[in-house]
């Protein structure tokens, strides 16, 4: 018998059967009234999730595609953008900016596992008074850090009022409030393969009226990602190019599931999972990566001295079919990350902690078997 697999990575994530079934209804042609109804429903779902009053965009690409598309549409070559760099996804804003001929100005986190300081952001903005945008993440997935986005955005609004606040909520959407209003943002970006519980390939962009004005005045330097063309099509409940049809049908089912749970309950579940993950890891004597700013959907930790993070992860897969994530960038091979976003329950997380503690023992770590699971069980269901 093939071993049953448990996916606890911060994307792609586990997908509920209901969503697969919604996508398996067979191909509907996208230029039909039937599909237009589904497309319109999906646009309403994005508006609901991200608090958009204007038409949002549904793009057939991964999250990075949407990040690049946004910068293309609201900037012109030579302009400056300030970006928060607390890991590889923050760094990605800088890479995109440089490909587009923009002057990317980073604000670095002091160490891996921390957010940036408000004072460092303020100082950088003062040095870049003409800056066109502040780009950041809600959750820097590579370090499991939750940034205080609304507070950082408030600083930018005060120091550089013309700058658009562009927020990547890819690994945060549906784990905590990610509306334009809650994040104090002009643009919020999401992607399908995280807590939205879909396969990869669909991205969401919500734009406030001020951001749409920038799009209207700008030049996307792109055909596929020209938001003006796409908006015109979206207003007619269709897309300019062939849409990710099945993902859109799946998205409508995902929104139904989220509405049934109630977003506030979804957020509370993620908060609980995050607390349980920290409890279990600490009880196993692992040092948390981001203890002061933990994310609701992913938790990172350093294994004990002498334990190889990647070997530990492979033994969890081999022995128990439990797949968690490792480090990226400078943290490659140094950490483990447990994804607990989307279709994940407390029992799933308990299983991952059990697998971890047994594999830690086999790797020679001192922690007592049962310490992690006992600490988690003690807090479960509360």
Give me the residues that bind ligand PMP (CB under 6 A), please.
Answer: 11, 62-64, 89, 137, 139, 141, 168, 170-171, 191
DSSP state for residue 176 in the 8-state scheme: B
Q: How far is the CB of 140 from ligand PMP (least distance, A)?
A: 6
Decide whether 8 or 354 has the Cβ nearer to ligand PMP.
Answer: 8
Decide whether 244 or 283 has the Cβ nearer to ligand PMP.
Answer: 244
Q: How far is the CB of 141 from ligand PMP (least distance, A)?
A: 3
Decide whether 91 or 226 has the Cβ nearer to ligand PMP.
Answer: 91
Decide whether 11 or 106 has the Cβ nearer to ligand PMP.
Answer: 11
Q: How far is the CB of 66 from ligand PMP (least distance, A)?
A: 8
> Which residue is at the shortest CB distance from ligand PMP?
63
SS (H, E, C) 239-306: CCCCCCHHHHHHHHHHHHHHHHHCHHHHHHHHHHHHHHHHHHHHHCCCEECCCCCECCCEEEEECCCC
- Other CB atoms within a 10 A radius of the CB of residue 317 amount to 16
Distance of CA 316 to the CA centre of its chain: 24
- Cross-strand partners of 173: 176
Q: How far is the CB of 139 from ligand PMP (least distance, A)?
A: 6
Sheet containing strand 287-288, strands side by side? 6-8, 322-326, 336-339, 298-302, 287-288
Q: State both tokens at 97.
A: 């900016």
Distance of CA 179 to the CA centre of its chain: 14
Q: How far is the CB of 308 from ligand PMP (least distance, A)?
A: 23
Decide whether 80 or 137 has the Cβ nearer to ligand PMP.
Answer: 137
């Amino acid at each position: 018998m093939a071993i049953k697999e448990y996916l606890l990575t911060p994307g792609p994530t586990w997908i509920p059967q209901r969503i697969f079934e919604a996508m398996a209804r067979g191909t509907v042609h996208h230029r039909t009234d039937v599909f237009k109804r589904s497309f319109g429903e999906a646009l309403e779902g994005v508006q609901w999730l991200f608090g958009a009053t204007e038409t949002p965009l549904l793009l057939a690409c991964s999250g990075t595609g949407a990040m690049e598309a946004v910068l293309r549409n609201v900037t012109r070559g030579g302009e400056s953008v300030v970006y928060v760099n607390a890991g590889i996804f923050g760094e990605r804003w800088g890479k995109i900016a440089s490909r587009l001929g923009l002057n990317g100005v980073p604000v670095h986190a002091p160490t891996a596992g921390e957010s940036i300081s408000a004072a460092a952001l303020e100082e950088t903005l003062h040095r870049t008074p003409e800056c066109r945008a502040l780009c950041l993440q809600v959750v820097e997935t590579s370090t499991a850090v939750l940034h205080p986005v609304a507070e950082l955005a408030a600083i930018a609004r005060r120091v550089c009022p013309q700058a658009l606040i562009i927020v990547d909520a890819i690994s945060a959407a549906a784990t905590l409030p990610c509306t334009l209003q809650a994040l104090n943002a002009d643009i919020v970006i999401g992607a399908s393969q995280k807590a939205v519980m879909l396969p990869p390939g669909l991205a969401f962009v919500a734009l406030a009226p001020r951001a749409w004005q920038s799009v209207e005045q700008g030049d996307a330097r792109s055909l596929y990602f020209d938001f003006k063309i796409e908006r015109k099509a979206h207003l007619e409940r269709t897309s300019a190019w062939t849409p990710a049809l099945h993902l859109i049908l799946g998205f409508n089912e995902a929104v139904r599931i989220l509405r049934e749970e109630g977003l506030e309950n979804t957020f509370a579940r993620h908060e609980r999972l995050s607390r349980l993950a920290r409890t279990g890891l600490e009880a196993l004597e692992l040092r948390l990566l981001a203890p002061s700013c933990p994310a609701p959907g992913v938790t990172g930790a350093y294994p004990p001295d002498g334990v190889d993070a990647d070997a530990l992860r492979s033994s969890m897969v081999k022995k128990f079919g439990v797949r968690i994530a490792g480090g990226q960038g400078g943290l490659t091979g140094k950490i483990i990350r447990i994804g607990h976003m989307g279709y994940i329950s407390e029992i799933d997380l308990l299983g991952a902690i059990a697998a971890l503690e047994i594999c830690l023992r086999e790797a020679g770590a001192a922690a007592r078997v049962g310490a992690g699971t006992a600490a988690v069980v003690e807090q479960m269901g509360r």
